[in-house]
Chain A
């Protein structure tokens, strides 16, 4: 299933081809809406696509089956051979190996394929029936399309993929609490930073999306999303916050910064929130923090605060390098896209040259043709004569006159 992880941003028209892609094609699709060069589908769900905030853990799904397996294979034997698997049994590994070999046709053990498409559906065109235009969307063999993050997780749990299996009861309770903390304090402010803050929205987010959404949707989809987020924030925060920029900045951003600090304190110097192996809380926290950390925001106060919390930065980068190695752990917005454009430019170059030559030729031919046709210039033998004779005639006349 991991092989299909990069499919977010598949344009709606290409939904059908999405299922076939393996990791190779993932790389080509720079088109993740969050485009932080990740192609990370989970970031699509990171609240920025308007997925419901009340659903607790997002997009951790794709990471989960991979993680315990990778860790455990390297470190220790699976702890509960007989229990519901948080680690798929060794025998099953072959089926679920990351589909670099393009085995994603079967899309994982249960034929689930994770889609990022549905941008067109967001406008109401029901290309993904039942998807309701929300991302991330998981297309399963049996149950159609599931598009609410919470439902995706439930579905995966039914299929016996569970990252929280090893957590104690207190830790599960803590997970719930921290999830609520994130949703209440951090998520609205993140939405504000990316979508409502004027400078960020105009200079960064809107461009980000417009560059990857196909014509002609790129003209009005980002704006529609902007309006939706604005409305949502207005409902959550009430009007007096929205009108008073300063108050909003001070109080709400302060609370968000406090939330980040709290997360940092809770993480301490551990590798993951609950010890050495990741749980769904890690996935959620990562999905919230990583865009904030890596995006190049012009107005980045919250970002600076996050960068000052060293353990959270290391945490994000380590997860990135562990679970998203195809980005090389360096998902700066500019870099992969620059590489992409260079490559495509190089490809197009010969064509470009040829096209230029061709256009010059055509232009020349057209001009000459017009010239001949309208008689400005003509190539008949005789025509040189009259043109040449006239000066001679004049000269003769002059000579005659002189004489």
Chain B
């Protein structure tokens, strides 16, 4: 988009207030969605909740293909479609809502850095686990990913996605890692987050920011998702302040919500959410 077009869009975004019928699209919650996508989706939902912006969650089997960047979740607001947390945060900011305005420069730098840490380590670890760990792939990912589609399309799509993710893992150097090393990395990441959080209610003391939303999305999903083994969630459970943090945000932002908030569905799911 040229500079002029972008300015125009931002203007447009700023001009309209947040509509009532904003929608967030993700994959089918019960049968299809995978760990990493669920985490991202939850993060966006948490962020919008924190900004007090109403949004409906709509589940579609082809959400991934509808998205402008190929990634879920994406939101449909007015006549604009924005995907992924980063651009959504900017879009929301253009509309005049921002969680990180009160931060000074150094804190903003730290916030961005920590968000990258979560993306770099947690998200990649989730992707690794669900696409590069053979057992998980066979038993969970393949059946879930292609479930809305008939045979042989489901197998073809799964293999295609797996191949793509594996190539990307190779490009960033994660292909050579073993599961133990990946879990080690997750542990390190959680340790860093735990240290940063300390005893504060949120990462930047009084008020939640997009970092809190992102961390919540990932950690909550990890904690409440049942995989082949519990190793991943065990790593997170080691840090009590992180689990308390998740619980606090869930209570504050998802409790009163009685529609199809995934948090509630997850809460009532000590039942296996993702098998």
Residue ranges of A at the interface with B (Cβ–Cβ < 8 Å): 52-55, 169-170, 172-174, 176-178, 180-181, 183-185, 231-232, 235-236, 238, 246-247, 250, 258-259, 262-263, 265-266, 268
Known: A173-B196, A265-B105, A266-B110. 18 other contacts (CB 8 A): A52-B172, A170-B198, A172-B192, A174-B113, A174-B196, A177-B110, A177-B113, A177-B114, A177-B192, A180-B117, A184-B119, A232-B171, A235-B168, A236-B171, A236-B172, A258-B112, A262-B112, A262-B113
A52–B195 CB distance below 8 A? no
A183 to B173, CA, bound (A): 12
B275 at the interface (CB under 8 A from A): no
State which of A177, A235, A238, A262 has its C-beta within 8 Å of the C-beta of B108: A262
Cβ contacts under 8 Å, A172 to chain B = 192, 195
A246 to B5, CA, bound (A): 13
B119–A173 CB distance below 8 A? no
A53-B173, A173-B191 known; A262 and B109 CB under 8 Å? yes
Most chain B CB atoms below 10 A, which of A235, A236, A238: A235
A250 to B1, CA, bound (A): 9
B11 at the interface (CB under 8 A from A): no
Cβ contacts under 8 Å, A262 to chain B = 108-109, 112-113
A235 to B70, CA, bound (A): 14
> Which positions 47-85 of chain B face chain A at CB distance < 8 Å?
70
Q: Which residue of B lies closest to A170 (CB)?
A: B195
Cβ contacts under 8 Å, B189 to chain A = 176
A174-B113, A174-B196, A176-B192 known; A184 and B120 CB under 8 Å? yes
B173–A52 CB distance below 8 A? yes
B106 at the interface (CB under 8 A from A): yes
Residue ranges of B at the interface with A (Cβ–Cβ < 8 Å): 1-3, 70, 105-106, 108-110, 112-114, 116-117, 119-121, 167-168, 170-174, 188-189, 191-193, 195-196, 198
State which of B1, B105, B108, B121 has its C-beta within 8 Å of the C-beta of A180: B121
State which of B105, B108, B119, B196 has its C-beta within 8 Å of the C-beta of A170: B196
Most chain B CB atoms below 10 A, which of A173, A247, A262: A173
A247 to B188, CA, bound (A): 35
A180-B116, A181-B117 known; A173 and B109 CB under 8 Å? no
State which of B1, B106, B121, B170 has its C-beta within 8 Å of the C-beta of A268: B106
A177–B1 CB distance below 8 A? no
Q: Which residue of B lies closest to A231 (CB)?
A: B171
Q: Which residue of B lies closest to A262 (CB)?
A: B109
Cβ contacts under 8 Å, A52 to chain B = 172-173
State which of A54, A55, A265 has its C-beta within 8 Å of the C-beta of B106: A265
Some 5 contacts from A to B, beta carbons below 8 A apart, are: A54-B172, A173-B193, A176-B189, A181-B113, A266-B110
